Chains A and B, each alone.
Chain A
Amino acid sequence: MCKIEKDVALQILRNLLLIREVEKKIIHLFSQRQMRCPVHLSIGEEASAVGICQVLKRDDMVFSNHRCHAHYLAKGGDVMRMFAELYGRDAGCCSGMGGSMHLVDQSVNMMGSSSIVASSIPIAVGAAWKKKLENSQVVTVAFFGDAAMEEGVVYESMNFAALHGLSVIFVCEDNGLATYTPIVDRQPNNAIAKRAQAFMYYRAIKRGDDCAEIFGVANEIITNKQYPAFIHVPVVRFTEHVGPKYETEVGVVDSKNIQHQMDNFCPVIFWERYLSQSYTCVTQTEIQDITLSVEKIIDDAVIFAQRSAFPKQDCLNKITWEVRQ
């Protein structure tokens, strides 16, 4: 495992905090009923997005799913446009047409996300195919959850990616839940690894809250061009499937166990501890500055969103298609 440079370690901290604080701000503001779209929060699952996107270059492409906030922010997506989107405003990253599940920012190659489980995976593979046909070095990442491994299209996509030797990384964020159905009721034991290994270079992450491990594995894959690759990341979902509540408030998932996981598998706590233990040169002032700058970005974004105009009523046709009507 390579030692992470100090500035990269601080960048990781910044992105982890940004995602966590954005999500907490959404929880805080959600009850005002100004954000009227289903929010699938990334709290607890930040390390996967941050660790992997930290290795990616700007040109590298990311495709995501319904739980896309972390992927969008980790790839460098605009925070103002994200909040404006959640508020349904014209200045939103999707002009208010998509909402929380469809974040996009092509300026940083956050290519989009689909809320139908697994359905953005073949799109990622197709984009990777185009790059291969151009002899480009661009890497494409598809983020998805454990339930996507129950969809047939994943295997069709893996088959094609392997057949054409595409520079694509499948990242399976395994929180063990499909809404509220546990994986033991949906998949045979330990089968994700075996199924992925049939087509791809497979790496299992031991601790899904450890950005250093995730960064290290992604870095190795990209440096050694071990494509197509599959990274299996165990993660913990701290909040309900959809909505602003913590699982501890919902009470469906074993609340004692979830509290234990929130205390012991939190990517932010992990990274703060890791920083203080591994980088004696990181000062409290540096951390304080990062925290303050993240808070300011979010506060500005919320004000921007709240002050933005709604889309015009007559825009729908033009956004749908170009064909003569």
Chain B
Amino acid sequence: MTRQITMSQAIAEATVLAMQKDKSIFVIGEGVKDHKGIFGTTLEVNQKFPERVFESPLSEDAMTGICAGLALAGGRPILVHQRIEFMMLTMNQLVNNISKWRFLFGGKAGSLPIVIRAIVGRGFGQSAQHSQSLQALVSHIPGLVVVMPATARSAKGLFLSSINSNDPVIFIEHRFCHSETEYVPEDYFEITLGQAKVLQTGDDVTVVSSSYMLHEILKVLPVFKEKGVDVELIDLQTLNPLDFETIIESVKKTGRLVVADLSWYSCGIVPTIVAYVAEHAFSYLKAPIKTITLPNTPTPCSWPLEENYYPNSQNVADKISEVLGMPVVEGTALASKTFNGPF
């Protein structure tokens, strides 16, 4: 019962389980068969099912369409991008075809069960084109399910649901989450898409986030606990469609809200949640909502600037203190994860 594995191991294990169960699943991507195997996540599956794991030409746009065709003809492809930026070359297929295929043909041309794994980089001077959190861009499009796991266990369950879903799913993995470790059941299990998870219940303030930012938040919660503040922490898990219901229910209870996301504010995940709460639970709010997002600039390479670019646990403590109207809890700038490169 105490088996501890990392999120990347959990994703690797889920891929193997899914492919054992269903022969129509394929893994396709640049580097899925090389010695590194997408941060180790495709090594085992390539060993076990080499005939269903395919290297891709550097043709992201066509490969995304090709995966759509594979899915239309009965396959269930998992397309992998080592960096989410390469998914930007495929926006035509995602926005115009894949997200709309089921809709455009009135549900009569089948669904497109495609999973697209896209990895967000951070640290070691990745700079502006290898570190972007682009979840908001794809979350704008109806028909694309967007999933962003935070922990090993949730990654496994959400990934298996994504593979089993008949909707196209963009599965966004933060590089820093890959090394997060926890107990993960060995067997096949799914976690419902479109559903947020309450990680910790509390009556004083609701904190909503996802992916790696949750780990920064988790670091400061014991400090607030000591001061008698009960935080309710919600992991969104799926970013589109968003589970507004769970957020609203929590805000009605706590009356205070902090929303954090490691993407930009403008037209992002954070303002979407803020707007929804303002519209549907305004009268329950005891204080203005507080938010945490990235500065409105690309990511710098220079390491002291890069370190300051990302919100950390002290920023979280600041916002929770502010929304509660209490003196700022100092000294919670616990070190963020370090990453020694090279990629």
Contact = CB atoms under 8 A, between A and B. Distances in A.
Interface stretch (B102-110, B224-232, B318-326): B102-110
B104 A97 contact: yes
Contacts of B74: 130
Given A97-B106, A119-B65, A130-B74, 18 more contacts: A63-B69, A95-B108, A96-B106, A97-B105, A112-B101, A119-B96, A123-B97, A125-B66, A126-B71, A129-B66, A130-B73, A131-B73, A153-B61, A153-B92, A159-B62, A318-B107, A321-B143, A323-B165
A23 to B, nearest CB: 22
Interface stretch (B192-200, B281-289, B335-343): B192-200
A122 interface: yes
Nearest to A158: B62
A122 B143 contact: no
Contacts of B96: 114, 116, 119
A322 interface: yes
B66 A95 contact: no
Contacts, number: 153
Contacts of B104: 94, 97-98, 102, 112
B5 interface: no
A123 B168 CA distance: 15
Which 9 residue pairs across A and B have the least CB separation, nearest first? A126-B69, A122-B65, A95-B106, A156-B62, A156-B59, A130-B73, A126-B66, A324-B194, A127-B69
Nearest to B106: A95
A128 interface: yes
B106 A123 contact: no
B163 interface: no
Contact of B166 (A102, A311, A318, A322): A322
Interface residues of A, number: 47
Nearest to A107: B108
A324 B193 contact: yes
A163 B195 CA distance: 41
A32 B107 CA distance: 29
Contacts of B62: 121-122, 125, 153, 156-157, 159-160
B93 interface: yes
20 contacts: A63-B69, A97-B105, A104-B108, A111-B72, A112-B101, A116-B92, A122-B68, A123-B72, A125-B62, A126-B70, A129-B69, A130-B70, A130-B74, A157-B59, A160-B57, A321-B167, A323-B145, A324-B192, A324-B193, A324-B195
A106 interface: yes
B66 to A, nearest CB: 4
A242 B250 CA distance: 52
Contact of B97 (A61, A96, A119, A163): A119
A112 to B, nearest CB: 5
A127 B143 contact: no
A55 B193 CA distance: 45
A156 B109 contact: no
Nearest to B243: A324
Contact of B107 (A119, A121, A122, A319): A319
B194 A320 contact: no
Contact of B69 (A92, A130, A311): A130
A49 interface: no
Contacts of A257: none
A93 interface: yes
Interface in B55-88: 57, 59, 61-75
Nearest to A168: B69
A157 B102 contact: no
B37 interface: no
B143 A320 contact: yes
A128 B192 contact: no
A224 B261 CA distance: 57
B219 to A, nearest CB: 31
Interface in A301-325: 311, 316, 318-325
Contact of B102 (A129, A321, A324): A321
Given A119-B93, A122-B62, A319-B102, A112 B109 contact: yes
Interface string A136-153: 000000000000000011
A172 B67 CA distance: 23
Contacts of A94: 104-106, 108-109
A124 B69 contact: yes
B139 interface: no
Contacts of B61: 122, 152-153, 156
Contacts of B145: 321, 323
B52 to A, nearest CB: 9
Contacts of A104: 105, 108-109
B241 interface: yes
Contacts of B241: 323-325
Given A321-B143, A322-B165, A160 B194 contact: no
A323 B67 CA distance: 20
B111 interface: yes
B222 interface: no
A63 B142 CA distance: 24
Contacts of B109: 94, 104, 106, 111-112
A60 to B, nearest CB: 12
A156 B65 CA distance: 10
Given A95-B107, A116-B97, A323-B241, A123 B68 contact: yes
Contacts of B102: 319-321
A275 to B, nearest CB: 36
